[in-house]
Amino acid sequence: QVQLVESGGGLVQPGGSLRLSCAASESIFSINSMGWYRQAPGKQRELVATIRKGGYPNYADSVKGRFTISRDNAKNTVSLQMSSLKPEDTAVYYCNAAYWDYTNYVLNNDWGQGTQVTVSS
């Protein structure tokens, strides 16, 4: 199991920016997908962005053009640069690691504890 710790959340005004970081307890070099999900009050957790082992970012339509995901395999981190933030971006943001367990033939999904992002005037 990979331990994930998020940081960088906080309170920002609409139109502002935040950069979230996720530190993994071990190498993420071989982790197929690192990503960010978010959960707003009363809502289900939803995908924000993912990035595969060799790059290839994928974004939810709601954040395309505003958010940028990146991963640094050497530093075992994944980041989410958020710009032009909107009130609807308010949520707890969770770091995710998805990787294939070839021994048990299952897909592992590990999660961080989350970091709060609040976009409000």
The number of angstroms, rounded, from the C-alpha of 54 to the middle of its chain's C-alpha atoms is 16
State mean pLDDT over 40-65.
Answer: 95
Reading phi first (left if > 0) and then psi (alpha if -120 to 50, else beta), residue 76 is in left
How many CB atoms within 10 Å of residue 117?
22
Predicted local distance difference test score (pLDDT) of residue 100: 87
Mean pLDDT of the chain: 94
Predicted local distance difference test score (pLDDT) of residue 31: 86
**How open is the CA angle 47-96-14, to the nearest 5 degrees?**
50
pLDDT over 90 (residue 73)? no
Torsion, CA 48, CA 68, CA 79, CA 57, rounded to 10: 70
Reading phi first (left if > 0) and then psi (alpha if -120 to 50, else beta), residue 10 is in left
Amino acid in the structure at residue 104: N
State mean pLDDT over 15-34.
Answer: 91
